[in-house]
Structures are given as C-alpha cells and as structure tokens.
Chain A
C-alpha cells in the first residue's frame, strides 16, 4: 500500500491559514531565519544539492535557476511566483495558497535573499478570490512580524511582496507571457533565450518559480538536502501533488513521493475505477500532457519517465478514464482547450492547431480517410517542433499520445466508421432491442424529437431520421432495451 507524504501540503488543512502564529508554531519562518544566517551561495548550494526540480511542469533544476539569477548582472532583480494555475481540473496551487500561504511567502523571501532581489510578485489568477484574500492577509501579518519588508529579522535584507491578478488567460502561465502581462502588455510569450534569469521583468534578472516549488523551499532549508532526497527518485527527488480526477472512486489532491507508480495512485489511493469498470488510460500533465494506457500503469512516475511515455508531469493534473472513453474524443477535447487558449502569436499554434482540430473533427464525424492520419501526424510534429512557446509545442501531445497507444481506435473511426467507445455521435446509432423492450413508453416520453414510437406494452421503435443521438432514451431505459450500435 502506497503512502502519501506531505511536504508541500504539510500544513494545509492542519493550521489556520489566516493566523501567522499557527504557521510559526509549525516551524514557520525558521527556514528563513536559518537562510539569513547563511551566505547566499550556501542557500543556493542547499537547493542545488537537494536536486529539487521546478514543479510548474518543466522540471528545470531549481538550484540552477537560482544560481543563474544570482549570477546575472543587474542592479535590480525580481522574484515572481507563478500562481496562474489553469489546467482543467487542477487545484494543487490553489490548495497551497488557500491552506498555507506563508509557506509560499517564506519560499519566495528565501529566494529573494539568495538571488539578491528586493521585490517579489505573486501572479495569481483573479478566479482564486479566497487565495488572493488569504495571501493579502498573510503578507500583512508577515510585515507586522518583521518577516517581510525592511530589514527582515533585523538583518540588512529587505524584501517585499505584492500581488498581481491575472485575467485568466491560460497562456499567462508561460513565464515570458506572464512577465508581459505584469508589465501591462498583451499576455504573449516571446522566444527564449534570453531566459528570465538574465532578462525578465522590466528586462531585469528575474527568478520565476511555481507555487509548489516555493512551498518546497522552507522544508529543504530546514531539514537539509539529504532529508529531501530520501523521498522520490534520484533524478526527481521529493514529492509531487497530483489532482486526481475523472472516473476514479476517490478524487482529490494526493501528495506522493516521486517514483510512485500510476497504479498505486489510481488503485491504492484512488480506490480504482468508478462503477468497477475497466481502466483505459490516464491523462497526465493537463492539456499539454498525454494519455498513458494500461500497459504502463506500473511505471514509476517522475519527470523523465512521463516524458518518455509521450506525456509530461505538467503541474500535476491526473485524469483517469474508463473503458467508455473514446480516445479520439479525448484528444479533441484537450486540443479544443489549447485552441481556445492560444494567444495567436505564432503561426503554427494559431492556425496549425485549428487545422489539427479540424482533422480530429473530420475523424470523429466519420468523414476522414487514411491520408488524414498522415497529415495529422506530420502537422502535429511541425507544431511541436516549430511553435514559439510551451503551449504550442505541447498542444499536439494529446493527439500524438492517443494515436501512439490507440491507433486502432483512430482507424476504427476511419475504416469502419465506428466509434468503439460509442461516444462520437455521428458514428453511433441507438436501437431498441425488441426482446428486452417492455413497451413502458418511458423512452418515448423523454425523447426530445419524438423519434420513438410504439404501442403500450409492445416493443418500441426509433426513427433514425428524427434521432439526434442525445442519449436520453438510453439513460432512461430500465430494461437494457436500448443499445448503441
């Protein structure tokens, strides 16, 4: 049985997030005090040797990022906390910010000290009003206690944090787009290099980390890198918070050591598939991630293993899908999301992803030919290799990964004009099984287009020319008398 380890969520739910004293009682700000007694280099050394990797999805070594920002020349530097959580169904960062805001403030302040910044900014989406309120409150309290502001803990180090609200564009989670947004420009990414560590906010060296990354800092400083590395795998130490959702019995946040297998998360912690249906795939990494099939359930998950499977860690979204899921439809769903959220700056993302979506629509509507699959793959690869930012580069992942593991399903839509999961409306038909039909008329009464006719207590009949495939009859029938063909 797999165990959850709470490093990031150590306090969430256990302390009153609106009272700094609760945080202080749980070793709060001890790490900051310890850091301020060390040199900046020592702090960065601890983070570097802990091998902590960015929890925002990219998995870049945090210590290295801090080192680059520290080494970058500049009279002014900034620390930004990326709290623009936007993956559908993900709420890891929100829970941290709402449940333990000081852990993020403390991590940022330590980061500010290490890189030589005096100013921190939390970029958070406006749709998280409670998190914003608690952060504001926490900032006020930290200032009152001399843990933020001028001469922190009586040292010469000063650091202040302000909050910037994002308008909810998904792409603003991309660091350069986020920086443009703070600067008051259109939230669009730019080509890297230069990276924010050398040229970030207002062109100054900027340390930008995700909420969960910052929440890891204080425990690492306090307990040391060896303590941290005992959890997780060699290349991805520590824990990761996942938002487990979908067709799984127990949904919610889980924090597990890296290297835990998908099976442990889904079946041990998640309790298995709802309605005791069969597991089909799990989608990790949000809209940029991919779908992983049953064959890989025992893969220990970390940044590299997920990438090798054609998916990614992302910020920790994990959506479980049962046997009734159409994988082409899933790819379409995620791609629709990226199409809606694309900023429109670069050609391949702006137009390419729309064309890719059109191909998927053609497949799910039963109008595609085998050549369309070829086109789909070559276009996906160009979008992946040519797009400007992470959003565009990863947008085809759901398509490529579902095609990789469920090619047969794609082909069934094209060659047999059938959706094996019975999801794609254009490819299915509802029919009455006369032997089972009791003639109760329930289906006829719910049918919005009066497509079902039949006498009382006699088998009914569905007029296919009137049927809009809404599925109302299917879910109403108590005698299993309606089938999907």
Chain B
C-alpha cells in the first residue's frame, strides 16, 4: 500500500491506483475529458490524449496526466498547482480553438463534457484562435457524425473496436488533420456499422449524435389528416425521468403516457404489447425447432444492432436467428393492419412513432424487407428517449407534475415478461416462461430464472424441461456475442437458445438513453427498475396477455399462421464486413 501525499495530505493508496483514482478516493477532484472507465463492462479508455487531467508531481520536470500515472511510494501530487491548472486551461482553449463555436445550436448543448469543463475552468476568452479543420457531416439513418467537433478522445473508437468489435471507427490522418473516421472514409451507412449507438453514448461532444426525427413528428402531430400512434419501448419508462432530474431507476410509466397524451398523440400504445407478441411467435418457433430437430441454437432477433452485426460478421450463421421481427416492428405491422381495420383507418393515414432507447431502431424501421407492405413503413419515425425528453421540454410540459395516465387499448396491455425485454437476459427469460409451460403443460410457479439475472456480460443457464436440459446463453455487447458465435462455429459450446443485446446491460444501456456519463451504476438501477415492474405485474407470462389472445382470435388465427408469418416474420441479408 503506497503512501502518497495529495496536496500535502498523507493518503494510503492501493497498488493499482493511478493518481486519478487515488485522488478520487481521497475525495479530491481532477477534471477529465478523454478518460472513460466502464469497469462493469471491462472497458477503460485512457489514451491520455486530451491533456486535461494534468497534475504536478514533485521532482518531475513535466506535468503528469493523472489518468495514466501510477502511484508509487512517497509520490507527492499537487493537483492545485497553478502551472497544472494553466496547462488544463490551455488544453481546453486549444480544443475550443479548433471547434465550431456553435454551442447554442449544438444538439449536445448542456450535455457536452467539453462545454462543462470549459465552464469549470472559467474559460471566458480564447487567445489561441486560428485555422480550423473543415470536414463534411456524415448523415446516416441513425447517426450523424460531425468530425469538426471531434476532440480525439478516442472513446468511440474504444467502444466500436474493443467493446463491440465492429471495427468501423478509427483514427486516420495525422497531426492537425487527425480525426476519427469510418472504414475507408465511407459514409457510416455503407459500412458494417451496426448503429448500436455506443459511440454516441460515450462521445463527450456533439461529434456523434442521433439523427433526429423530431421535426417530422411535430409535423404529423399537427396534421389533422394523420392519426398519430406512439409506442414506448420497455427501457424508456425507467430512464426518461433522469432527463428531468429524477434519480436513475425512477419508474415513470404513468408520467410518460401522460406526457405523450399532452403532446397530442392520438393513441399511446406500448411496445411491451409487441414484446409479448414477439414471445408468442418466437417461442412457437423455438418449440418447433426443438421438437423437429430444427436449426439450433436459435438466436433472438429483437436487437437490430445485433442482427446487423451478424449479417456482416457471421453471414454463414444467418439461419440461426429467429425469423420473428422485433417488438417494434411487430407492433408497427399490427397497427397498420389489425388496428387500422379495427379503427377503420387507411394505413397510409396512420403515423406510427416509436420511442426507443436505441439508435439502431431508427435504422431497423428503414429496412425494406422488414416492412409488411411496399407502400408504407410499419414504423414511420423512431425517436430516442433523449429526443422525447427534448419534445416534452420544448412543448413546455412540466414532467414533475404531469398527471399519470394509462396506455390505450387494444395495444397497450402487457405482461411482466415484456417489461424485462429491456434488460440483458430478459428476452430469454420471457421466452422460457412461455416455452416451459407449452412444452411441459405444467404451470410455472417460480417465473424468475435467477441464472438469467445479473450484470455479467456472458452467462449460461440450464433449465430442465421434461427431463431435457435446455441450455441458454446470454450475452450483451457485440464483442461478447462474437465470442459466443465463434464458440458455436467451432462447436465448443452446445446451446439451444441465445439471447444477445448489443448494448451494456441490454436496452437500458442503449445508445438513445439519457447519457450515463461513464457511470454504469445508472444502468444497473434501470435494470433493477425493470425487474420491479415485472414483479408488480399480475400477469407475468406473455401467453397470458388477454389482448394478445384476442389478437390471435380476431385476426392472426394462431401463432405461426400464414398471416402471422406475413406480418410478424422477416428474413436477413448476407453482408460484407466493411
């Protein structure tokens, strides 16, 4: 245990501490910009490139970056040294000197780390203005890259390469022109980008942002000819409140619905209904594959980032995922068919908006083969949790006092199984609850499969169904998915069902959620909140949702029927890894 001195005070640090972690444990503060530590997912980005966390260390000629300097016996650290503070200020001024001066119009305004630190360091003028880089914006269906706002913190590169192993983003060029770009400088749309949005989730500035569809939604909301229907994903209700100052993990389902109604949506439905429907179709397919020696393991197909990853990186395994569409797309298809018929509306006059924790959902809605008709999109616009918060703020709705409301029917009722779709292990657990009862014909007393709970990024659970051991693999993060798929390809692991979610902790940690600013505890609290929703539901198995049963009785006939195949199933494409 090295004894060190922080601004003169003695402190016992641990062997593995850096100056930064030691000072933080001590209760001190050093501003950091490029540094990002998501220890729960084993991701640490510390290129020590921003030169903001500089401190003075007695006896050393130069200043030292706190994030990468290890502690050693007797180290004397001065975090308050004027020289160090001036160096921090200069680093920020230099970054700002090659940065668009448009903070007031920047989508990241108020959430930007560069802006926050500039304010903390009292930067009110900049003596270092000079030439600036001038790159074009790259606009894709889900993500907008503005390289002029890139500060070379390398966080996106770390997420894309180390966590997701997608390998699209990396540093190119050198010196003043050094910048992060996609493969071969192609537009993101043409690369193997999965649109998982984890780059956006960690970008400290506005260099990576969601492609926003807010304006289109406002237009349809005031268009009297349009019947605007909204669906909300499971993970949105446990995160949205953070945008309004509530504690992470606050469940705000009622307020969410209330706010959406105030915004003028004609019907507020629930993606959770779609999730229950997904389970019915997926469990039917799983049962079918199990009983008829079908292709196993079956992979879940709810996560569009994961699906695109598979298409690019494992095109030889393209038969593995379930053909069931994701809850978002099933929901859209049902609105534009069953609901349209029931409400006596033309599908083209219905606008389906979804509120998602996800950026890949924006891209998913644009996939040609996923839409049930060539004439219209099943889901017209996808907004992120963050975009919805912006709309609520823009409209002047006080989220704290907004009256709690319930979802509309017939597409608003959902079970506990649907709620946990938003967390890692949840889809597999929901599928098991149904499959177990269908295969055994017995009632499942303990609905929670503890082995599928938890935060570890790779888990395997075994369940005894009629004497057969069903093995289920669960992974989040595409790097972990890669490990699992490689093990399957090499026949090193034998599984029946695999659930994969691209983002940390599942959809709760999605690229469209309120920024976690490097704090994984936020994501854990959202997971816990989803489990609370599940536990407080009376109905916790998808196949017991009365509105789902009614949907089959009135419209789809039975799970896996021809109509269900046409509306609720899709196929996947073999793609290149670019």
**A binding-site residues for B, Cβ under 8 Å:** 169, 171, 186, 188, 190-191, 193, 339-348, 350-352, 354-355, 358, 375, 378-379, 382, 384-388, 393
CB distance from B523 to the nearest CB of A (A): 29
Decide: A350 near B152, CB < 8 A? Known: A186-B171, A190-B47.
yes
The residues of B that contact A386 with a CB separation of less than 8 Å are: 51, 54, 62-63, 87, 90-91
Q: Which 3 A-B pairs have the closest CB atoms?
A: A344-B178, A342-B175, A351-B94
B519 at the interface (CB under 8 A from A): no
Decide: A348 near B176, CB < 8 A? Known: A191-B68, A193-B70, A358-B131.
no
Let me know if B130 and A345 touch, CB within 8 A: no
Q: Give A351 to B127 CA distance when docked, in angstroms.
A: 13
Q: Give A351 to B92 CA distance when docked, in angstroms.
A: 11
Decide: A385 near B83, CB < 8 A? Known: A191-B48, A191-B65, A344-B177.
yes
The residues of A that contact B174 with a CB separation of less than 8 Å are: 169, 171, 341-344
The residues of A that contact B284 with a CB separation of less than 8 Å are: none
B151 at the interface (CB under 8 A from A): yes
Let me know if B70 and A355 touch, CB within 8 A: no
Let me know if A351 and B176 touch, CB within 8 A: yes
Let me know if A343 and B128 touch, CB within 8 A: no
CB distance from B190 to the nearest CB of A (A): 23
B69 at the interface (CB under 8 A from A): yes
CB distance from A311 to the nearest CB of B (A): 16
CB distance from B189 to the nearest CB of A (A): 25
CB distance from B17 to the nearest CB of A (A): 14
Q: Give A387 to B87 CA distance when docked, in angstroms.
A: 10
The residues of A that contact B177 with a CB separation of less than 8 Å are: 344
Chain B CB within 10 A, most for which of A354, A355, A375, A393: A355
Cross-interface CB contact of B90 among A341, A344, A382, cutoff 8 Å: A382
Chain B CB within 10 A, most for which of A341, A342, A347, A354: A347
Add 20 more A-B contacts to A341-B175, A347-B91, A388-B51 (CB < 8 A): A190-B47, A340-B175, A343-B178, A344-B173, A344-B176, A345-B178, A346-B50, A350-B176, A350-B178, A351-B98, A351-B176, A352-B94, A352-B128, A355-B130, A375-B127, A385-B62, A385-B83, A386-B51, A386-B90, A388-B48
CB distance from B544 to the nearest CB of A (A): 54
B78 at the interface (CB under 8 A from A): no
Residue of A nearest to B33 (CB): A347
The residues of B that contact A341 with a CB separation of less than 8 Å are: 174-175
B49 at the interface (CB under 8 A from A): yes
Q: List 12 A-B contacts (CB under 8 A).
A: A186-B171, A191-B65, A342-B176, A344-B178, A346-B50, A347-B95, A347-B151, A348-B94, A351-B95, A355-B128, A378-B86, A378-B90
**B binding-site residues for A, Cβ under 8 Å:** 47-52, 54, 61-63, 65, 68-70, 83, 86-87, 90-91, 94-95, 97-98, 127-128, 130-131, 151-152, 170-171, 173-178
Q: Give A191 to B51 CA distance when docked, in angstroms.
A: 11
Q: Give A345 to B178 CA distance when docked, in angstroms.
A: 8
Let me know if B130 and A358 touch, CB within 8 A: yes
Let me know if A348 and B51 touch, CB within 8 A: yes
Q: Give A379 to B91 CA distance when docked, in angstroms.
A: 10
Let me know if A339 and B175 touch, CB within 8 A: yes
Q: Give A444 to B490 CA distance when docked, in angstroms.
A: 81
Cross-interface CB contact of A385 among B87, B95, B127, cutoff 8 Å: B87
CB distance from A368 to the nearest CB of B (A): 13
Q: Give A340 to B173 CA distance when docked, in angstroms.
A: 11
Residue of A nearest to B153 (CB): A347
The residues of B that contact A347 with a CB separation of less than 8 Å are: 49-52, 91, 94-95, 151-152
Residue of B nearest to A349 (CB): B175
Let me know if B51 and A387 touch, CB within 8 A: yes
Q: Give A382 to B171 CA distance when docked, in angstroms.
A: 25
The residues of B that contact A340 with a CB separation of less than 8 Å are: 175
Residue of A nearest to B83 (CB): A385
Let me know if B62 and A343 touch, CB within 8 A: no
Q: Give A378 to B48 CA distance when docked, in angstroms.
A: 22
The residues of B that contact A344 with a CB separation of less than 8 Å are: 152, 171, 173-178
Q: Give A171 to B86 CA distance when docked, in angstroms.
A: 27
Decide: A379 near B178, CB < 8 A? Known: A186-B170, A388-B51.
no
A-B contact count (CB 8 A): 108
Residue of A nearest to B94 (CB): A351
Residue of B nearest to A339 (CB): B175
Q: Give A378 to B83 CA distance when docked, in angstroms.
A: 10
The residues of B that contact A342 with a CB separation of less than 8 Å are: 174-176
CB distance from B101 to the nearest CB of A (A): 15
Q: Give A352 to B50 CA distance when docked, in angstroms.
A: 12
The residues of A that contact B52 with a CB separation of less than 8 Å are: 347
Let me know if A379 and B69 touch, CB within 8 A: no
Let me know if B175 and A355 touch, CB within 8 A: no
Q: Give A106 to B127 CA distance when docked, in angstroms.
A: 53
Chain A CB within 10 A, most for which of B51, B86, B91: B51
Let me know if A345 and B49 touch, CB within 8 A: yes
Let me know if A348 and B90 touch, CB within 8 A: yes
Let me know if A379 and B90 touch, CB within 8 A: yes
Residue of B nearest to A382 (CB): B90
The residues of B that contact A382 with a CB separation of less than 8 Å are: 86-87, 90-91
Q: Give A51 to B52 CA distance when docked, in angstroms.
A: 38
The residues of A that contact B47 with a CB separation of less than 8 Å are: 190, 345
The residues of A that contact B131 with a CB separation of less than 8 Å are: 354, 358
CB distance from A336 to the nearest CB of B (A): 11
Q: Give A344 to B62 CA distance when docked, in angstroms.
A: 20
CB distance from A98 to the nearest CB of B (A): 28
Cross-interface CB contact of B49 among A169, A339, A346, A375, cutoff 8 Å: A346
The residues of A that contact B90 with a CB separation of less than 8 Å are: 348, 352, 378-379, 382, 386
Q: Give A354 to B97 CA distance when docked, in angstroms.
A: 11
The residues of A that contact B173 with a CB separation of less than 8 Å are: 344
Residue of B nearest to A346 (CB): B49
Q: Give A355 to B126 CA distance when docked, in angstroms.
A: 12
Q: Give A388 to B49 CA distance when docked, in angstroms.
A: 7
The residues of A that contact B48 with a CB separation of less than 8 Å are: 190-191, 346, 388
The residues of A that contact B63 with a CB separation of less than 8 Å are: 385-386
Q: Give A13 to B209 CA distance when docked, in angstroms.
A: 62
Q: Give A42 to B174 CA distance when docked, in angstroms.
A: 44
Q: Give A350 to B174 CA distance when docked, in angstroms.
A: 8
The residues of A that contact B170 with a CB separation of less than 8 Å are: 186
The residues of B that contact A354 with a CB separation of less than 8 Å are: 130-131, 175-176
Q: Give A209 to B486 CA distance when docked, in angstroms.
A: 40
Chain B CB within 10 A, most for which of A339, A351, A379: A351
Q: Give A348 to B151 CA distance when docked, in angstroms.
A: 12
Residue of A nearest to B175 (CB): A342
Q: Give A119 to B502 CA distance when docked, in angstroms.
A: 40
The residues of B that contact A343 with a CB separation of less than 8 Å are: 174-175, 178
Q: Give A260 to B151 CA distance when docked, in angstroms.
A: 46
Let me know if A339 and B130 touch, CB within 8 A: no
Q: Give A197 to B56 CA distance when docked, in angstroms.
A: 25
Let me know if B50 and A350 touch, CB within 8 A: no
Q: Give A348 to B130 CA distance when docked, in angstroms.
A: 14
Q: Give A90 to B235 CA distance when docked, in angstroms.
A: 62
CB distance from A409 to the nearest CB of B (A): 23
The residues of B that contact A169 with a CB separation of less than 8 Å are: 174
Decide: A346 near B51, CB < 8 A? Known: A354-B130, A355-B128, A384-B62.
yes
Q: Give A188 to B131 CA distance when docked, in angstroms.
A: 24
Q: Give A136 to B533 CA distance when docked, in angstroms.
A: 69
The residues of B that contact A191 with a CB separation of less than 8 Å are: 48, 65, 68-69
Q: Give A191 to B47 CA distance when docked, in angstroms.
A: 8
Residue of A nearest to B72 (CB): A193
The residues of B that contact A378 with a CB separation of less than 8 Å are: 86, 90
Q: Give A269 to B178 CA distance when docked, in angstroms.
A: 43
Q: Give A350 to B51 CA distance when docked, in angstroms.
A: 11
The residues of B that contact A188 with a CB separation of less than 8 Å are: 171
Q: Give A190 to B176 CA distance when docked, in angstroms.
A: 18
Q: Give A375 to B126 CA distance when docked, in angstroms.
A: 11
Residue of A nearest to B91 (CB): A347
The residues of B that contact A375 with a CB separation of less than 8 Å are: 127-128
The residues of B that contact A352 with a CB separation of less than 8 Å are: 90, 94, 128
